[in-house]
Amino acid sequence: WYRLVTAGFIHFGFFHIVMNMILLFQLGQLLERALGGVRFSLIYVASLLAGSFGVLLVDPSYIGGGASGAVFGLMAGAAIGLHRRGVNVFNTGIGTTLLLNLVLTFTISGISIGGHIGGAIGGAVCGWLMLAPSWKPVAKWVTFVTPVAVIVVSVVGAMIAVG
């Protein structure tokens, strides 16, 4: 069970961790300001666990690691939040970065498609409600419950996937 979490904290080489940490730093500056520390942590954990669940769905025997599932979730959440506010994500660095990373995910062997897509889906679900525009607000409690629900679905789904 612990591998669902610990996989997000191990990396395979210096370049791997540096790229994840650069993106995490940039996305953290953007999202933590908008969400606050607690909700930022919740969307990060929800994305990480959704990425781990994605790995189990796509290839249960895959041994992977890295924060990229969580980082993909943050990118997707930010992109959804910007889109809902009427911002063209391709006028920001987020749209291009997300698209480029998706292309790399599907073209370079050894990259976890399940981890990246799972994290992106989890982050997008969270971003839809957590980063709702001010003219379509959601109750504040929803911004806490949404990532918790993604966490629960991911953990229960992972338990079912492994039998």
Q: Exposed, middle or buried by CB within 10 Å (0-12, 13-18, 19+), for 92?
A: middle
Q: Give the CA-trace dihedral at 16, 3, 119, 38, to 10 degrees.
A: -100
Q: 3-class DSSP state for residue 150?
A: helix
Catalytic residue status for 16: no
User: Which of 52, 112, 116, 154 is an active site residue?
Assistant: 116
Catalytic residue status for 116: yes
> In 51-85, which positions are buried (b, 16+ CB within 10 angstroms) versus exposed (e)?
bbbbbbeeeeeeebbbbbbbbbbbbbbbbbbbbbe
**Encoded tokens for 16:** 């791997």
User: Which of 47, 68, 112, 154 is an active site residue?
Assistant: 68
- Cα–Cα distance, 48 to 83 (Å, whole number): 22
Active site residue ranges: 68, 116
